A and B are shown apart, each in its own frame.
Chain A
Amino acid sequence: MRPIEFEILLSLAAGARHGYAIIQDIEARGDDADVRVETGTLYRALQRLVEQGLVVPTEPRPAAPDDDARRRYYDLTPAGRHAAAAEARRLARLVDSARGLRLIPRSAG
């Protein structure tokens, strides 16, 4: 899984979002101000995730007060949630290994 795809899955794990909200979430999550996602990259990744069945444009739209009529919302499919969890576990294992090898300090976690 590519980093951008995992980032999108993470953003959608909290609930359905439209494209701009995903970008905002990813940029807010990064501790580095230079973390940037542009629309071309985002939608190419979204297309891959939709094709893989991990993400789906939501059919029943979110509740009216929070809705924005102009855009589509995306949500995780069960497979997407499963894939995101699996990827997170894999990354956690890798981080643990890195800690064991003292590549990153223990306190960082």
Chain B
Amino acid sequence: MTVQKPPGQPAPSGQPEPRGAAESQREVLSSDAATTWPLRAYDVALRAFPAAFRESWEGDMRATFADRVAAARSTAGRAPVRLVARELANVLHTGLRERLHSNYPKPRIMHLRDLRYALRLLIRSPGFTLLTVLVLAGGLGLSTFTFSFLYTAMIRPLPLSEGERIVRIDAVVDGRRRAIDAADVGALRTSLRTVRELGAYTGRELVVGRDGDGRMVDATAAEPSLFAVARTPALFGRTLLPSDAVEGAAPVIVLSYRTWEVAFGADRSVVDSEVAIDGVSTLVVGVMPEGFGFPVASEAWVPLPATTTAATMPGMESVRLVGRLAPGVSHAEASAEASPLLRRLLAARDTSARPANVAASVESFASVQFGDERLLVFTVLNLLAALILLLALVNVVNLLLARANERIRETAVRMALGASMGRLVVQGMWETLILCAMGGVLGTAGAAWGLEAITRWTRANMEGNLAFWWVWRMDSVTLICAGAFVTVAVVAMGVVVSLRTTRTNVREVLQDGGARSGGRSIGRISRALVTVQVTTVTVLMYFGVMAGVMAERALTIDPGFDTTRLVQGGIAPPPARYTTDAERAVLFRNLQARLAEQGELDEVILRRTLAEKQSSGGRFTLRDARQTGAAPSAFVVATLGDLNTLGVQVMDGRPFNAADDGERAPVAIISRALAARHWAGRSPVGDQLRLAAVGDTARWITIVGVASDLPYGDPLSRDRSADAIYLPLLQSGATYATFLARYRSSELAARQSLRQTFAQVDPLLVPDGVQSYDEVLRKVGLITTSVSRLFAACFAFSLLLALVGTFGLMSRRIGLRTREIGVRRALGATDASITALLLGQGGRQLGVGTLMAAPLLAGVGMAFSYYFPISAWISLTAGLAVSLAIVALILAATWMPTRQVLRVTPRDALWRD
């Protein structure tokens, strides 16, 4: 019998070797550093084989592998990477095959009795169970609610057939989103290949019913193709047809379900009957299904005259444009196709020296309603919710660790009696699973309740202003989201608790009583968790405070003028009947004069913001062109009537007068801020400027006056500015105007008076969107306070979590040191020195947590200062205040258990186990 001796091996000792005794081999085989890493990797790979197989073959396999590696090394002189890789792949492959094809008895680690045991443990400590479940439910519920709420509001595709393909096409001019010029719709419709079935629409207010019992509805003047985009048939009757939109067609209207219910008592016979719409007999051709309000919250639909898109001059009217993406086309591809087209159309008529930067934006209809910051808002708010969940998890994990520590002796005994690690981990997992399941169910129920409550609240307070798809309720997305969060919780908690179990050192625990066993690693985890907690709660609270500052700003918006008893509304001369600037000017002049004569109304002014400072329309050129640097720009506002209503007084030169109409030389009044910027130290009166905002850019406009400042622009943005140029409305070519008037007795009387005056001037004209400033402010206030309260509740919850968590953790850690403290006091330590010692213990994590929070606070603060007019010093002060408050609160939570331990006499402390 011949036996081959492997190369490079030590001389045989002749000693028999027990089967599978890997320990001694390991020493021999690991002696060479170059063979260590392949062997370690091999050991790991061997785990692919079932345990029973490994028991018989592992030692032999390792030896053979080590022989091969050593032999290959002696030949090649270096680690045989290829051989090792091949071996590892082979072992993994054959090991898994062995697992699949073998009939080894599987070690049972799932036992029903473990579930019962876990349940018993939880029932035995109801306080712990209740606290854990409530904390988990709070964190999971909040995260689920936030995600589901934002998903429905911002991302969910419209609840229409293939709603995800419905898109809105906007023009983006100089970075600002604009509606599409009605004159461009035809060209887009014939040229676009990536977006089909285009439908244009524009908002319109209509009075449905007779005088006296008429009802104002927010209607949509829509191309009949809008219903093709929506793919929704009428509930009764029909939708709009192309023949309804042709010139001279009989007027028709399609009602929403709600309008049909509220205005016509859900009377089926109203379909195919004539009703008064804006005083004109109109045929009701259909009623749409319940809940349908496409495009947003439409209460009725009337045909948009075909002439609007076919025969309107460019710049006269804007429309919104929706369509359906062609199959397989992305939003980006559609934008890429539409952009050059739109650019060409606009370039053909842009005569200004510096052409605007034009692009098209094709985006999901639902999400585009939220503007360009929607992704940021969605991410930030979800991140906040995730932070609260993190905080909840940190606290629950801390509680679980404390429990695991208390049961460490039991774990060690089980291990000593032969329980497998898998079994012990699974046993610990049952508890986690039960807690997460209970927290998850409770949290999801809470989220569902919250969603229903939001739907109810919005229906009660904001009816008519809500997009038709904003119906928040429990649905599959909410459930999936809740499931995902619960899974995250189970995994996070499971990992930490399993780590605790696997780190148990049986011998130490049984000898020592377990007080110190694993203490170091657990201490590390606990300290890390406290640090994370401090950081998280600081960031959350800071965000809350900054949001509060914003809310306060929103509630105290200063429009710059007195808003008491002020009503506003729109005047939209129908383009079909008012075709020229002169005709519109007569209408505006008549309306202003008649409204001013009304006994009920006072301080009537018509105005129209023609351009914003940041837009290309806001740019102007001075005749006395001495300016340098950036092209000057300002808000351009056309007015007719008493500027005093806006709180603006003419300080130099003269106000506009009745003679400043289209027949006379164009004039302007500029604001004091603008005058100070460009005419420093001298009067601008008599100088001339050219404006991009008015149609004729070649016309010089003479400045006749300087007026006091009034802030323009979004009151909550950084774009607010008092740089303004006022033009006479009758010289501006405006096609639309807003009126402002102060009523004497009541808002209702003012509305009636307005309707009557409009009817006197033009029986077919109704004031557009009449609302009192008080009402607008009330709505803004309602939304702001509601959102702030919601935020405050969330942040209060997170603060409570952090306090309770820190208190619990510190109580336990200080409790463990009772005896030590007893010894210290017996040796003469003063209460003050012990307090300092214990506070210092918590202080380190507090310091690290606060330091870690600092850059995050800076980021949040800068973001707030960037997007909103909040000065840097407010951000800084708020950051410092929040950090100090958190430090104080956490120190207080540490001080309370310290005080308790100091009450224990040294003698009692020494006797304590």
Binding site for B on A (CB under 8 A): 14-21, 23-25, 36, 38-44, 46-47, 61-73
Complex CA–CA separation, A89 to B913 (angstroms) = 79
CB pair A72 B91 closer than 8 Å = no
Chain A residues in 8 Å Cβ range of B97: 44
CB distance from B65 to the nearest CB of A (A): 5
Complex CA–CA separation, A64 to B13 (angstroms) = 8
Chain A residues in 8 Å Cβ range of B9: 68, 70
Chain B residues in 8 Å Cβ range of A40: 49, 61, 87, 90-95
What string of 1s and 0s marks CB contacts (under 8 Å) between B1-36 and chain A? Answer: 111111001001111110100000100100000000
For residue B63, CB closer than 8 A to chain A, the reply is yes
- Jot down 28 A-B pairs with beta carbons below 8 A, ordered by A: A14-B2, A15-B2, A18-B3, A19-B60, A19-B61, A19-B64, A20-B68, A23-B64, A36-B86, A38-B86, A38-B87, A39-B65, A40-B90, A40-B91, A41-B90, A41-B94, A43-B64, A46-B57, A62-B3, A66-B2, A69-B15, A69-B17, A70-B28, A71-B17, A71-B64, A72-B17, A72-B19, A72-B60
**6 cross-chain pairs, A with B, having the tightest CB-CB distances, nearest first:** A40-B94, A38-B90, A21-B4, A19-B64, A20-B67, A66-B3
For residue B274, CB closer than 8 A to chain A, the reply is no
Interface of chain B residues 384 through 406 with chain A (CB within 8 A): none
Chain A residues in 8 Å Cβ range of B92: 40
Contacts A17-B3, A61-B16, A66-B5 given; does A42 touch B93 at CB 8 Å: no
Chain B residues in 8 Å Cβ range of A21: 3-4, 6
CB distance from B574 to the nearest CB of A (A): 84
Q: Contact partner of B14 among A14, A42, A43, A67, CB < 8 A?
A: A67
CB distance from B41 to the nearest CB of A (A): 13
CB distance from A87 to the nearest CB of B (A): 22
Most buried by A among B1, B5, B14, B61: B1
Chain A residue nearest to B62 (CB atoms) is A39
Chain A residue nearest to B45 (CB atoms) is A40
For residue B98, CB closer than 8 A to chain A, the reply is yes
Contacts A67-B12, A69-B17, A70-B63 given; does A24 touch B4 at CB 8 Å: yes
Complex CA–CA separation, A28 to B60 (angstroms) = 21
For residue B53, CB closer than 8 A to chain A, the reply is yes
For residue B900, CB closer than 8 A to chain A, the reply is no
For residue B833, CB closer than 8 A to chain A, the reply is no
Chain B residues in 8 Å Cβ range of A42: 64
CB pair A69 B14 closer than 8 Å = yes
Complex CA–CA separation, A20 to B68 (angstroms) = 7
CB pair B64 A18 closer than 8 Å = yes
For residue B56, CB closer than 8 A to chain A, the reply is yes
Complex CA–CA separation, A53 to B87 (angstroms) = 27
Chain A residue nearest to B13 (CB atoms) is A69
Complex CA–CA separation, A68 to B25 (angstroms) = 12
CB distance from A34 to the nearest CB of B (A): 12
CB distance from B58 to the nearest CB of A (A): 9
CB pair A16 B3 closer than 8 Å = yes
Interface of chain B residues 62 through 118 with chain A (CB within 8 A): 63-65, 67-68, 71, 86-87, 90-95, 97-98
CB pair A43 B57 closer than 8 Å = yes
Chain B residues in 8 Å Cβ range of A66: 2-3, 5, 12
Complex CA–CA separation, A69 to B842 (angstroms) = 58
Complex CA–CA separation, A39 to B64 (angstroms) = 7
Chain A residue nearest to B87 (CB atoms) is A38
Most buried by A among B16, B28, B61: B61
Complex CA–CA separation, A95 to B788 (angstroms) = 88
CB pair B25 A70 closer than 8 Å = yes
Chain B residue nearest to A40 (CB atoms) is B94
Q: With A39-B87, A67-B14 given, can you name 16 additional A-B contacts, CB distance below 8 Å?
A: A15-B1, A18-B6, A18-B64, A19-B61, A19-B63, A20-B64, A20-B68, A24-B6, A38-B87, A41-B94, A43-B57, A47-B56, A62-B1, A63-B1, A70-B17, A70-B63
Chain B residues in 8 Å Cβ range of A69: 12-17
Complex CA–CA separation, A69 to B68 (angstroms) = 17
CB distance from A44 to the nearest CB of B (A): 5
Complex CA–CA separation, A23 to B9 (angstroms) = 16
CB distance from A73 to the nearest CB of B (A): 7
What string of 1s and 0s marks CB contacts (under 8 Å) between B889-902 and chain A? Answer: 00000000000000
Chain B residues in 8 Å Cβ range of A43: 57, 60-61, 64
CB pair B63 A71 closer than 8 Å = yes
Chain A residues in 8 Å Cβ range of B14: 64, 67, 69
CB distance from B69 to the nearest CB of A (A): 10
CB distance from A36 to the nearest CB of B (A): 7
Q: Contact partner of A23 among B5, B17, B68, CB < 8 A?
A: B68
Most buried by A among B15, B25, B68, B93: B68
CB pair B19 A20 closer than 8 Å = no
Complex CA–CA separation, A73 to B3 (angstroms) = 9
CB distance from B607 to the nearest CB of A (A): 84
Chain A residues in 8 Å Cβ range of B93: 40
Complex CA–CA separation, A58 to B56 (angstroms) = 15
CB distance from A10 to the nearest CB of B (A): 14
